[in-house]
């Protein structure tokens, strides 16, 4: 791949990373959820009286945002693939975990959240709606843990390949550990903090990608 072609792809990664975070935050602004253990009145406010138009629009935007993330993650995995076995393996892990994160998110917390909102407006008992909300949260916790693993792999790949600043790798390690800890689910506040920290890190990755790589990743050696 030519240097100019590689830099163009890095810019694509940067744009996708920033678009993902912006669209994800916008989708959250359109949705309303109830925390685990919330009072019945809070659950009713989130899923019975809340606007289905806004709620489903927010979920659809979340879905689109996750697809943007998938494009960014798989392209990032390609660009951090260096010439060593270690960097090549890490790049493969980045791509795989990015795909797993999107799959878990689309298969767990998004459908449960949509079902809770739908059932809340179609006569289901509050206990049923609350159960669906709990499924949404536990799915979100699992996806946060997978996102932490992705972030650790991406940080390691960035460090090994040397294509982006080292501080971005060190910050990614810290954020990845935080996401893994938040996936345990003891405190939802930790999950919220991890989500904010990760969004900030991914935007920084996007900005660094827009500026271009520090150096081109070495091509993998040919094998006989």
What is d(CA 36, CA 43) in angstroms, rounded to the nearest whole number?
10
pLDDT at residue 1 greater than cutoff 80: no
Q: Which of 36, 26, 37, 91 lies closest to 63, judged by CA?
A: 26
**SS (HEC) of 22-48:** HHHHHHHHHCCCCCCCCCHHHHHHHHC
What is d(CA 109, CA 224) in angstroms, rounded to the nearest whole number?
46
pLDDT at residue 209 greater than cutoff 90: yes
pLDDT at residue 212 greater than cutoff 90: no
Q: What is the pLDDT of residues 135-149, one digit of tens each?
A: 999 999 999 999 999
pLDDT given for residue 216 in this prediction: 56
pLDDT given for residue 215 in this prediction: 62
Average pLDDT over residues 210-219: 69
pLDDT given for residue 184 in this prediction: 75
Q: Which of 158, 213, 205, 160 lies closest to 3, judged by CA?
A: 213
157 in Cβ contact with 79 (< 8 Å): no
pLDDT given for residue 5 in this prediction: 57
Q: What is the pLDDT of residues 130-189, one digit of tens each?
A: 999 999 999 999 999 999 999 999 999 999 999 999 999 999 999 999 999 998 766 677
pLDDT at residue 84 greater than cutoff 80: yes
Q: What is the pLDDT of residues 104-130, one digit of tens each?
A: 999 998 999 999 999 999 989 999 999
């Amino acid at each position: 791949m030519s240097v100019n072609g590689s830099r163009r792809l890095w810019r694509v990664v940067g744009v996708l990373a920033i678009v993902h975070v912006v669209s994800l935050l916008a989708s959250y602004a359109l949705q309303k959820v109830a925390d685990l253990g919330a009072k019945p009145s809070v659950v009713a406010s989130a899923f019975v009286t809340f606007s289905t138009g806004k709620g489903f629009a927010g979920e659809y935007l979340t879905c689109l945002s996750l697809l943007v993330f998938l494009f960014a993650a798989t392209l990032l995995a390609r660009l951090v693939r260096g010439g060593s076995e270690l960097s090549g393996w890490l790049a493969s892990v980045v791509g795989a975990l990015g795909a797993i994160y999107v799959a878990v998110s689309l298969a767990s917390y998004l459908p449960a959240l949509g079902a809770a909102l739908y059932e809340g407006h179609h006569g289901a008992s509050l206990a049923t709606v609350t159960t669906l909300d709990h499924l949404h949260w536990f799915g979100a916790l699992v996806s946060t843990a997978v996102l932490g693993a992705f972030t650790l792999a991406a940080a390691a790949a960035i460090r090994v390949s040397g294509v982006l600043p080292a501080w971005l790798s060190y910050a990614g390690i810290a954020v990845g550990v935080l996401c893994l800890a938040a996936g345990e689910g003891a405190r939802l506040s930790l999950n919220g903090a991890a989500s904010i920290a990760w969004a900030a890190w991914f935007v920084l990755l996007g900005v660094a990608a827009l500026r271009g790589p520090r150096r081109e990743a070495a091509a993998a050696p040919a094998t006989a």
